A and B are shown apart, each in its own frame.
Chain A
Amino acid sequence: MKCMPQAKCSTGLILFPAFDWCISPTHPEREERLLYTKDQLIEEGLEDIENIQFFNPELADYRDIDRVHLCVPSAQNLLTDSHLISAGGAIRAARAVMEKDVEKSFAIVRPPGHHAMQTVFGDRGFCVVNIEAVMVEYIRKHYGVKKIAIIDTDCHHGDGTQDIFYNDPDTLFVSLHQDGRTLYPGSGFLGEKGGPAASGYTINLPLPPNTSEEGFDTVMERVILPMLEEFKPELIINSAGQDNHYTDPLTNMNFTAQGYARLNRLLSPDICVLEGGYSIEGALPYTNLGIILAMAGMDTSHVKEPDYYPGKFRQSSEVNRHIETICDQAMQLFRNRTGTATGKTAERTVMDRKRIFYDTAGFMVDETKIYHLCPECPGYTEIEASGNNTDLRAFCVPFNGCRSCQTRARDHFQRAPGGTSRRMVVLQDRIDDIYEVK
């Protein structure tokens, strides 16, 4: 006789609240953040449910970090054990799925990562390491997976993840978030649609404040599901931030536990990675549970915040129309996507400049990316960045780059003048998994 329910879809959980780590004692990213979530999940008895399996995180290796990031002065210097564990938690989640221990997995770890860009000079938006990106490149390196879709459902624009995969046509990155005109980090508009070799592979859906279940349903049905249908990724990853919740103190949206559960049932991600979410008492215990049960194919109808009732939040028709327009425009961008830099010559380059604000320590980094285009592959990227009294120059070969771009990037690196105590020169070659500093 069955005395415990069974998950229809075997699901792995990496639940690591890191009760002994914080940015500062009253910072939203503090020890207590996942306390009530852990209490709820344990009290529900998830550990005893057949087909739900708990895993401890492992420590990511610095190699795993250097495959993705350009840390200034170094990963060893910027990262604490907690960052390695958080990234290692995402890696453990991926391994559990890739090695078929489970069908799906969810890394409920902290600190989060989606604001961490390719170059890292410090902590921005509570993030130092982009744990999804580290996981994605780990999967590509160890399991040969190519096409991956990352759906970022955090309320803040996933600007770090966007930056890292901006010129990669094998990564479809979709971020749905509260409109950047009203919320940190102030980016994530429709016009940010991908680099020259991946135009239309970055899709931003800036949603108006007070978007509720209805709005997210619209986005899922009109944009995300049709895109996934067409893109046909080998893996779907959800950057599962939970700060669209109506009780979140940092945002202005009206999403719910029922909504998160439904979104994940529709999306059916292979791997979820927790991002933000700072309503630690009123939202996270319920939203996390809702997501887990939806992934596991279990009944979510009883997962409700204590003060929730269906129809609690209704969107105005104006908001509905606004969201529909955004959906149409986003679909248009995706339909017009172009894979490689078709028709452009090998010599051409495209330059992209930006200023990156590091909010935790409060400094600016000026960055220039030069995309060296190639008709065969996304091409290699040259990066110049300076800030916080240090300069970085880097040559990055993507995992899907061709051998001749790899050779060109290496030559370029060899020819570049060597570094000094204030200047780093780096070769990051994802084809042969090389990270070299001179």
Chain B
Amino acid sequence: MLQIAGIDVGGTHVDGVILLGGKILAKEKVDADQQNLVESIISLLRKLVATPSLQPDQIHLSTTLCTNAIVNGALDEVGMIIQAGPGLNPSFLRCGDHVFFSDGAIDHRGHVVKKPDESLLAEAKKHFRDCGLDSIGVVTKFSHRNPVHERMIADNMVDSFSHISMGHRMSGLPNFPRRVYTTWINSGLQSRFDSFRKAILSGFAKLGLNCPCFILKADGGTMPFDLGARLPCETVHSGPSASVMGGLALAPVDDDAILLDIGGTTTDIALLAQGVPLFEPYGVTIAGRPTLIRALNTRSVGLGGDSTVAYRDNEFVIGPGRVGPPMAFGGVVPTPTDAMIVLGQLPGGSREKARQAMTALVGDQSPVHTAKQLLETFCGQLHRAVEQMVEEVFSRPVYTVSALLGRKRLEPAELIVVGGPASAMKNCLGENFKIPVTVPEHFEVANAIGAARTRPTMQATLFADTSEKILSIAEIGHREKIHNGYTMKDAEKRLTQVITSLARECGMGDLSDIEFIERQELNTVSGFYTTGKILSLKAQLMPGLNKI
């Protein structure tokens, strides 16, 4: 059995575990220095492997590196070439100061309508070079159907720049603005991720570790560190995804369920459909930009143990911000944590100060009463946020009669809670949600456990048009000729090959879990005769836990 190290870089701490199967061999925590993540990670790992018998065979790392860079506006300057074709006026696309709109177009069936003007491209190239840019992003509308213009432009640039990201390699999904933002973000992260990876690997080497290293993605899976260098954007939001996978590892369920990670300032909510976490329909939205970065459907609400609380018009106003520590720990503003301390549900802190906090909120009743009311309000607000999320999932657009008639609303039968205040909130949450609540053991290192237990995920999207005799698989930039009798069975076989070879690159053997989704097969008719079929099919490896 393999020893796997799971490391999760959070906002304040870096947590780590070494697992042997489901067993925790070691767990450690160090402060996170966001300015020097490499140092924090290496020092944590040094502590983890201090015992000679602990020698991980694999390291899984979840890091805030890319999320921070995006949120802090620290992306590299990128030269963007965008071909929008007919449709929305593309001038809204904000990708820094070096955006060139190319002419030419590809239509919805992947037909080339008009080639881009090469003299304009040469002008763009010169401008990018004059500005000293090193990262380029190239995106065309409908490149998931036909990447020919993206490739042509990239080929034109490749001799002059170190990093080139093409839209179709980011995702096989439609949505042009998201493809543009994803490509821009990816391009702007490449050099940063590259140096991070080199520093980490050299740190590992100094500790005598040269085992395979995987990096966590927003979709609840991992990818090899090397692949991360090509697709660094996929590593954003890996914290919430580690938390979801940790919750799953610590408290497996088969039913529809809710996962709450209650932190100091926010609570992250995730939904499970028959034990499987749900995805965002397209991808995560980060720093206001919608993307195609595949991600688990999590939502962060501004309700945490240390949220500020006020009492206005006979109601508690909780969050969304945090001013400082709870009053019981020397703060100046009442918080839900103070209420938990008053009720004796959380150890530590000054109970007297916590009572004062409750009295400061409502003067004319007992602190215990106020504390109860405050926590009920807290749970009520979480409940409403969960219900809203369930409704949104139910309302996602469907396009077939059978899908519309077959829609089912999630009916959560269990609530899994992790995070600092989890135990203290257990009863109150149970009363409010009226379903069983589980607070798993070791929940304080749920993210690190989630990181350690997670396995690679991947997806590939096939689009075939038998009347045009063309097949394309965007994620690997593949396009081939097919015969006009090509069928859905052939498509399944082809995608299985693609996923299998991608998985081999990730060092995976067992592939029992290839899942085909979003199957669509439509006849194309010209005049009144059927001329062929349009097939589309997506295959994926679902996020899941390594078998133990």
Contact present for B87 and A289 (CB under 8 Å):
yes
Say if the beta carbon of A31 comes within 8 Å of chain B: yes
**Would A32 and B87 be within 8 Å (CB), given that A43-B142, A48-B290, A306-B107 are in contact?**
no
Provide the bound-state CA to CA distance between A54 and B392, in Å. 11
Provide the B329-351 mask, 1 if CB < 8 A to any CB of A, else 0: 00000000000000000000000
Q: Is the CB of B534 within 8 A of A35?
A: yes
Question: What residues of chain A lie closer than 8 Å to B205, measured between beta carbons?
Answer: none
User: Does A25 have its Cβ within 8 Å of any Cβ on chain B?
Assistant: yes
User: Is A56 in contact with B398, judged by CB distance below 8 angstroms?
Assistant: yes
Q: Does B524 contact A (CB under 8 A)?
A: yes
Q: Is the CB of A43 within 8 A of B405?
A: no
> Is B178 a contact partner of A45 (Cβ separation < 8 A)?
yes
B90 adjacent to chain A (CB < 8 Å): yes
Indicate whether B89 reaches chain A with its CB closer than 8 angstroms.
yes
Give the shortest distance, in Å, between B372 (CB) and chain A (any CB). 37
Q: A17-B399, A45-B176 are in contact. Are A302 and B290 (CB under 8 A)?
A: no
Q: Verify B401–A82 contact, CB threshold 8 A.
A: yes
For B92, the chain A residues whose CB sits under 8 A away are: 2-5
Known: A36-B108, A42-B175, A48-B178. A306 touches B113 (CB 8 A): yes
Please give the distance in Å from A88's CB to the nearest CB on chain B. Answer: 9
Q: Would you call A20 an interface residue if the criterion is a C-beta within 8 Å of the partner chain's C-beta atoms? A: yes
Using Cβ atoms and an 8 Å threshold, which residues of chain B touch A26?
523, 525, 528-530
Return chain A residues, CB-CB under 8 Å to B181: 3
Q: Does A328 contact B (CB under 8 A)?
A: no
Asked if A435 is an interface residue, CB under 8 A from chain B, the answer is no
Cβ of B89 and Cβ of A302 under 8 Å apart?
A: yes
A304 at the interface (CB under 8 A from B): yes
A30 lies within 8 A of B405 (CB): no
Contact B400 A20 (CB under 8 A): yes
Chain A residues within 8 Å of B399, by CB: 15-19, 38
Q: Mark A301-316, 1 if CB is under 8 A from B, else 0.
A: 1111110000000000
Question: In chain B, what residue has the closest Cβ to A17?
Answer: B399
Q: Please name all residues of chain B whose beta carbon is closer than 8 Å to the beta carbon of A281 when the two chains form the complex.
A: 108-109
> Restricting to A24-47, which residues have a CB under 8 Å from any CB of B?
25-26, 30-32, 35-36, 38-40, 42-45, 47
Cβ-based interface call for B485 (8 A):
no
Q: Which residues B491-526 have CB closer than 8 A to chain A? A: 520, 522-525
Tell yes or no: B141 within 8 A of A by CB. Answer: yes
Question: Complex formed: what's the CA distance from A16 to B402 in Å?
Answer: 12
- Cβ of A85 and Cβ of B525 under 8 Å apart? no
Residue A57 lies at the interface, judged by CB distance under 8 Å to chain B: yes
Would you call A293 an interface residue if the criterion is a C-beta within 8 Å of the partner chain's C-beta atoms? Answer: yes
Q: What residues of A have a CB within 8 angstroms of the CB of B528 in the complex?
A: 26
Q: A residues within 8 A CB of B309?
A: none
A35-B178 contact given A1-B94, A15-B397, A303-B86, CB 8 Å threshold? no
Within 8 A of A (CB), among B150-178: 174-178
CA distance in complex: A5, B180 (Å): 14
The answer to whether A56 and B395 touch across the interface, beta carbons within 8 angstroms, is yes
Asked whether any CB of chain B lies closer than 8 Å to the CB of A299, the reply is yes
Question: What CA separation (Å) do A232 and B363 show in the bound complex?
Answer: 59
Q: Which residues of A contact B290 (CB under 8 A)?
A: 3-4, 45, 48
From the candidates B90, B175, B400, B529, name the one contacting A43 in the complex (CB within 8 A).
Answer: B175
| Structural contact, B90 and A56, CB atoms closer than 8 A | no
Partner of A3, one of B142, B288, B398, B401: B288
Residues of B within 8 A of A44 (CB): 87-88, 176-177
Supposing A20-B402, A302-B88 touch, asked if A36 and B525 sit within 8 A by C-beta, the answer is no
Known: A40-B87, A302-B84, A303-B86. Is A32-B522 also a contact (CB below 8 A)?
A: yes
Q: Which 9 residue pairs across A and B have the least CB separation, nearest first?
A: A45-B177, A306-B113, A299-B89, A43-B174, A39-B108, A5-B92, A20-B400, A32-B522, A48-B290
Which residues of B pack against A, CB within 8 Å?
A: 84-90, 92, 94, 105, 107-109, 113-114, 141-142, 174-178, 181, 281-282, 288-290, 395, 397-402, 404-405, 407, 520, 522-525, 527-530, 534
A-B contact pairs, 30 of them (CB 8 A): A1-B94, A1-B288, A3-B94, A3-B288, A5-B88, A5-B89, A15-B397, A15-B399, A16-B399, A26-B523, A26-B525, A30-B523, A31-B522, A32-B522, A35-B522, A36-B109, A38-B399, A43-B141, A45-B177, A47-B175, A47-B282, A48-B177, A56-B404, A56-B407, A81-B405, A286-B86, A299-B88, A302-B87, A303-B88, A306-B107
Besides A20-B400, A25-B523, 11 other A-B contacts (C-beta < 8 A): A19-B399, A25-B530, A26-B523, A35-B534, A42-B175, A43-B174, A43-B176, A45-B176, A55-B395, A302-B84, A304-B86
